[in-house]
Amino acid sequence: MSEKKEKLQKTEQEWRQQLDPEQYRICREKGTERAFTGEYYNNHDKGIYRCICCGEPLFLSDQKYDSGSGWPSFWSAAADGVIDEHRDISHGMIRTEITCSNCDSHLGHVFPDGPKPTGLRYCVNSASLDFDKGDS
């Protein structure tokens, strides 16, 4: 049986030193960037999308598609267990928030309106990602 990896933990001061103000607002305060403004919403390069906070591989470019939403959208995570899901009832809506399982960074939300084979749409803030260009 494999052991569960300990979550990366930092103080709020350490996160503020590592992240720029927009990244901190989104990743640590559960913010959202404006649609069609993020660095990766229209990125078509091959590579791996990693958590901006801890570097964990979260999504592969082969799983990315244009949802028309204005945010990077993926039909699956890079591997099982890299994304945690949480019920989100903020802003008068019921949604499923997604976070990095390694450091609890807020990524965005997952919706059941994506393409096959999963039918899921992981709608992710570009500011929560770091793109590692290369083979995915």
Q: Mind telling me the catalytic residues? A: 123
Q: How far apart are CA 69 and CA 67, in angstroms?
A: 5
Residue 61 CB coordination number (10 Å): 21
DSSP letter for each residue of 73-86: EESS-SSTTSEEEE
Sign of the alpha-carbon torsion through 110, 108, 15, 36: positive
Q: How far is CA 33 from the centre of its chain?
A: 12
Residue 74 to residue 61: CA distance in whole angstroms? 8
DSSP helix/strand/coil, 98:
strand
